Structure 1
């Protein structure tokens, strides 16, 4: 597996991967309209062009991706996705570690995930992220905000 900067031409494949990865989250929270599932290819392309988007490539296939956007001295981490058939094999760890290395000017890294997303929470805690607060979004979702 190789971690590389994503290119604008990768937007369609990353969006397809993102949708595949977030279906389980949508089912977990009973909400088929979570933002990663309704994002457009144009929005993904813009994110690639304006921030740091990394992709994990294995045998010519994108199997994971993560985004980082610098806001002051903080890198806002978003859309960490791993292909369903590659989850639990270190792809997410490799992507977050590479993002930390790609944005050395960041004094902190912030991300959020749903309160029921135990795998995401375990990964983040293992990489040094600590919970900073919880934000109730509605009856079925509380966002857990974490910082490293």
Structure 2
């Protein structure tokens, strides 16, 4: 397995993986209109202009991906995903480490849904701490986590 920068030519395969990987999130919230499931190919292709997109590849098949962009000293991490058949094998951790290595002098920030306990626990294991919760609806919040830059 290797982790490398993705190119816009990978967008279609990454979008297919994204729609598969985020189904479990949609099921938690009983909402299949979440952004990862409705993002278009064009929207994803446009993200290559201002995001670093990584891919985890086994035998020329993308089985994981993550995106990041840096603004004013903060690296915003998003769309960390691993194919359901390849989860719990350390691939997510390798993708996170790769992003942090690409943006070594940054503070890191990401978010997930408040009911996504598995994701929150995973991010905490990576050294991230909750610093904000934003209520979206009466039964749904986004949890923002950060990891401060190492001194």
Distance 1:84 1:140 in 2: 26
Aligned position for 1:137: 136
Paired residues, number? 147
Distance 1:13 1:102 in 2: 23
Deviations 1:82-125 (A, max 9, x none): 1011111111111001000011242x010000111122111110
Moved over 3 A (4+): none
Q: Is the 1:30–1:140 contact (alpha carbons within 8 Å) kept by the matching residues of 2? A: no
Distance 2:12 2:93 in 1: 23
Q: Is the 1:109–1:147 contact (alpha carbons within 8 Å) kept by the matching residues of 2? A: yes
Q: Is the 1:75–1:103 contact (alpha carbons within 8 Å) kept by the matching residues of 2? A: yes
Deviations 1:5-34 (A, max 9, x none): 010000000000000000110010011100
Aligned position for 1:47: 47
Structure 2 length-normalised TM: 0.94
Q: Which runs of 5+ in 1 are unaligned?
A: none
Q: CA RMSD in A?
A: 0.9
Aligned position for 2:94: 94
Structure 1 length-normalised TM: 0.96
How much does 1:47 deviate? 1.2
